[in-house]
Amino acid sequence: MFAAASWVLMASMATAQTQITIWGIDDATGMTPVLAEEFAEQKGDVTIDYRFVPFDALNQEYMRAFATRSTPDILMVNTTDTQFYAASGQLLDLTDRIAASDVIQFDEIFPGYQAAVTYEGRIFEVPKGANTLMIYYNKDMAEAAGIDPEAAPESWEQLRDYVARLTDPGKRVFGIAFSATNTQEAPWQWLPFARMAGAEWDNINTEGSVRALTLWRDFVASGQASPEVLVWPQGDAAASFRAGQSAMVIQGSWDVDTMSQAPFEWGLWMLPPEEEGGQRVSAAGDFTYAIPAAAKNPDLAFELIEYIYSQGDRSWNEFSGMPVRPVTPDNVEHPEAYAAFLQQLEYGRVLGPYDKWNDVSLVLQEAIQTTLSGATEPAEALERAAAEISSITGR
């Protein structure tokens, strides 16, 4: 009897499996579950429990899990929320683990993402991937308008000129499209322009930010951009470009495969600085990996994060994403687009980073919406926004 019991115990120990639980927005073919399963297969004694959480439900589900101490081992956190969760005290401090890692070299990560995952000098997340914004332009329309397709606009003045020349009311073609909708996408697309003019989200009432908002307002007021930009999410703005209804669109790196279906030749231009030779800025986004303080398997979870990080050169070809550090995969697909976005990422900066960013975002959304709709002047909208942001930050 004793021998039989011992055999059962030894057998169960030999086949014991450790389960890593992950919550995130990647679908079944996405980077996280695919690479997690690879990691589990290599380890042999690990299983993966991956739960898809819709984007709009992420924060609600995470906060409920924190409250009930029923967190998974790994959470996927939006770059706009990294500071909020770090400040909450609910995440494991990864600083020492990263310093001791032979895989994650923090200094090689693009600066915008280093800032996103650092809170009060400590590192609480590891960037999953990257994305940024550039100007997609219709080469056929550019040539027809007398614009050299290889001559990117080098200033806002030149951008204004290109937009005006590409606008064709007779053919119902707008010069440029972008997203100024009443969501996070509006500050995501507009803030790079304010930053290029020397402003910042917590110093938003400046002459430079007024010029940046005036630029966008003028595009709409002149009929060079559709008034639909006020309701277009980024996908709809991009659709207007692919349909030939807009000659240019500010859009992200994730859309290259879809853009390749357009019935015309297109190219990419970097977002131009305000003045030629001036400061360049673009957006930086995507998700990060965090380990909750209450995770059951933090060491194994970090090892999995290291594995995913090590596979960054697969992000573009296999998962339509950008790596968080400057690497180039073998046999890169859409090589010109990849090189362009990699260069733009050098200037990428995340929204915030700030632990109450979502409150700030609502204020900026209102300023953009009221200005582009013609309800307020740029200076008035930004003066009000600055006062509201000051009440949020307490400074």
Model pLDDT for residues 214-255, shown as the tens digit of each residue: 999 999 999 999 999 999 999 999 999 999 999 999 999 999
pLDDT of residue 328: 86
Instruction: Looking at the structure, tell me whether residues 98 and 227 fall in a common domain.
Output: no
Instruction: Looking at the structure, tell me whether residues 235 and 377 fall in a common domain.
Output: yes
Using alpha carbons, select from 358, 191, 179, 210 the residue that is nearest to residue 283.
191
When pLDDT is cut at 50, 70 and 90, the band that residue 165 belongs to is very high
Using alpha carbons, select from 53, 97, 93 the residue that is nearest to residue 72.
53
Residue 10 above 70 pLDDT?
no
What is the DSSP code string of 195-235? HHTT-BTTB--SHHHHHHHHHHHHHHHTTSS-GGGGT--HH
Instruction: Looking at the structure, tell me whether residues 311 and 366 fall in a common domain.
Output: no
Model pLDDT for residues 330-378, shown as the tens digit of each residue: 899 999 999 999 999 999 999 999 999 999 999 999 999 999 999 999 9
Residue 195 above 80 pLDDT?
yes
pLDDT of residue 210: 99
Q: For residue 5, tell me if it sits in a domain.
A: no
CA distance 166 to 68: 56
- 3-state DSSP assignment of residue 35: helix
At 86, the amino acid letter reads A
Q: For residue 95, tell me if it sits in a domain.
A: yes
CATH number reported for the structural domain that contains residue 300 in this entry: 3.40.190.10
Instruction: Looking at the structure, tell me whether residues 173 and 312 fall in a common domain.
Output: no
Q: For residue 6, tell me if it sits in a domain.
A: no
Of 313, 328, 349, the one marking the end of a domain is: 349
- Mean pLDDT of all residues in 114-123: 97
Instruction: Looking at the structure, tell me whether residues 167 and 271 fall in a common domain.
Output: yes
Instruction: Looking at the structure, tell me whether residues 126 and 55 fall in a common domain.
Output: yes
Instruction: Looking at the structure, tell me whether residues 177 and 253 fall in a common domain.
Output: yes
Instruction: Give how many domains the chain has, as a whole number.
Output: 2
Model pLDDT for residues 302-329, shown as the tens digit of each residue: 999 999 999 999 999 999 999 999 998 8
Inter-residue contact 11 to 108 (CB < 8 Å): no
Instruction: Looking at the structure, tell me whether residues 125 and 258 fall in a common domain.
Output: no
Q: For residue 56, tell me if it sits in a domain.
A: yes
Q: What are the tokens at 103?
A: 């895989």
Instruction: Looking at the structure, tell me whether residues 172 and 264 fall in a common domain.
Output: yes
Q: For residue 191, tell me if it sits in a domain.
A: yes
When pLDDT is cut at 50, 70 and 90, the band that residue 15 belongs to is low
Q: For residue 3, tell me if it sits in a domain.
A: no
Residue 34 above 90 pLDDT?
yes
Residue 304: C-alpha distances to residues 118, 247, 329 (Å):
20, 43, 21
Q: Is the pTM above the cut of 0.75? A: yes
Instruction: Looking at the structure, tell me whether residues 80 and 177 fall in a common domain.
Output: no
Model pLDDT for residues 258-302, shown as the tens digit of each residue: 999 999 999 999 999 999 999 999 999 999 999 999 999 999 999
- 3-state DSSP assignment of residue 176: coil
Instruction: Looking at the structure, tell me whether residues 268 and 139 fall in a common domain.
Output: yes
pLDDT of residue 16: 74
Domain membership of residue 115 as a residue range:
13-131+285-349
Residue 40 above 70 pLDDT?
yes
Identify whether 353 is preceded by a cis peptide bond (ω within 30 of 0): yes
Instruction: Looking at the structure, tell me whether residues 99 and 43 fall in a common domain.
Output: yes
Residue 155 above 70 pLDDT?
yes
Residue 143 above 60 pLDDT?
yes
